[in-house]
């Protein structure tokens, strides 16, 4: 159910962020593939109830379609990251197409605040894509724990499985959007469990 990514760190050490070294009892909560009315409002409600914050890696296509959701994400103190234009494997894109997708998404998101992070679709950048993102002023972020059940949104048992692997400085990856309405429940359960261990969820720039 959980895919640890820490073993990949040495491959691109220093260029791809997998975790944030810290003694502070906090971890980073991130969501890919939003915004979408089927999941984003419920996610924001859960985060507000727990006093938690997160980084939302948004698709340009969806951010353009639902600007009011992007505005709400930013207004409630959460961070916005670039997840390229549409939900597809980034590694398949030609360099020129990737750069334009990245820029188009950046133009949409920049209206709502600064954007400094990038996450590739399907979880891994090619060296050329990584260089392009850096040229555009973006740092690549993956994670230390990824929920893969429920199309990445989690199921009724995901919070229980995720909890033991969430540590201070870790980056948790979840997914939202159509067919992923269970993500709010996953987050609710995870935040209840991590709070009992003294851990709080924050946006990436609050820790990095």
Instruction: Work out whether strand 26-34 and strand 55-58 pair parallel, antiparallel, or are unpaired.
Output: parallel
- Which of 32, 33, 101, 163 is catalytic? The answer is 32
Rounded Cα distance, 149 and 133, in Å: 29
Q: Is 175 a catalytic residue?
A: yes
Q: Angle at which helices 95-109 and 127-135 pack, to 10 degrees?
A: 40
Q: Which residue has the tokens 């949104």?
A: 153
Decide: 82 and 115 in contact? Cβ < 8 Å.
yes
Tokens read off for 206: 């609050």
- Which of 36, 53, 175, 188 is catalytic? The answer is 175
The residues annotated with a catalytic role in the active site are: 32, 175
């Amino acid at each position: 159910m959980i895919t640890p990514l820490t073993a990949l760190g040495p491959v691109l050490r220093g260029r791809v962020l997998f975790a944030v070294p810290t003694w502070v009892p906090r971890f980073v909560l991130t969501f890919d593939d939003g915004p979408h009315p089927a999941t984003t409002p419920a996610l924001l409600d859960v985060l507000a109830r727990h006093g938690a914050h997160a980084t939302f890696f948004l698709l340009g296509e969806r951010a353009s379609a639902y600007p009011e959701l992007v505005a709400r994400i930013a207004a409630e103190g959460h961070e916005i990251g670039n997840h390229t234009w549409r939900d597809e494997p980034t590694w398949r894109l030609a360099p020129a197409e990737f750069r334009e997708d990245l820029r188009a998404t950046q133009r949409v998101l920049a209206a709502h605040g600064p954007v400094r992070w990038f996450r590739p679709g399907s979880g891994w950048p090619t060296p050329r894509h990584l260089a392009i993102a850096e040229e555009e002023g973006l740092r690549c972020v993956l994670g230390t724990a990824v929920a893969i059940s429920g199309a990445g949104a989690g199921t009724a048992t995901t919070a229980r499985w995720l909890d033991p692997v969430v540590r201070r400085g870790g980056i948790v990856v979840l997914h939202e959007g159509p067919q992923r309405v269970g993500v709010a429940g996953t987050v609710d359960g995870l935040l209840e469990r991590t709070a009992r261990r003294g851990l709080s969820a924050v946006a990436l720039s609050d820790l990095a």
